[in-house]
Amino acid sequence: MGVHDHLRIGVAHEDDRVVLALDGELDMASAPALQRALESVELAGKAMVVLDLHKLEFIDSTGLRIILAARKRCREHDQELAVTRGSQQVERLLSVTGMAEHLRTVPAPDEMRA
């Protein structure tokens, strides 16, 4: 199974934000793909970067590190980083590590349309 088989990243542009929808597993093997997506020029100029975690099934410490680095990078570029709720495993890891307290949680794009 290749990296692209276990993490897919969809990019959607909205008025003031760009949403990166993560589908699958964010771990040591797939983290570089997310890192590249976060460093893309496509994200420049948007007030907010949203990581849509609702289809993310698994995250490990490498994935957490990428999210923390994304938060720092967004701050350096006068952007806000936000996340949507993830699977039970993802939410538990964010909570246990204390990261949930440092990340703004927003509704998933499909929840905003409902």
- pTM value surpassing 0.85: yes
pLDDT for position 51: 96
Average pLDDT, integer, range 103-107: 92
> Residues, the chain, total?
114
pLDDT tens-digit map of 32-63: 999 999 988 677 778 999 999 999 999 999 99
Coil, strand, or helix at residue 2? coil
Q: Is-contact 71 102, C-beta < 8 A?
A: yes
Given pLDDT bands bounded at 50, 70 and 90, which one contains residue 1? Answer: very low
What would the pLDDT profile of 2-17 be if each residue is shown by its tens digit? 545 689 999 998 888 9
What string of DSSP letters covers 13-33? E-SSEEEEEEEEEESTTTHHH
Question: How far, CA to CA in Å, does 17 sit from each of 55, 63, 110?
Answer: 19, 22, 15
- Backbone torsions φ then ψ of 52, nearest 5 degrees: -85, 105
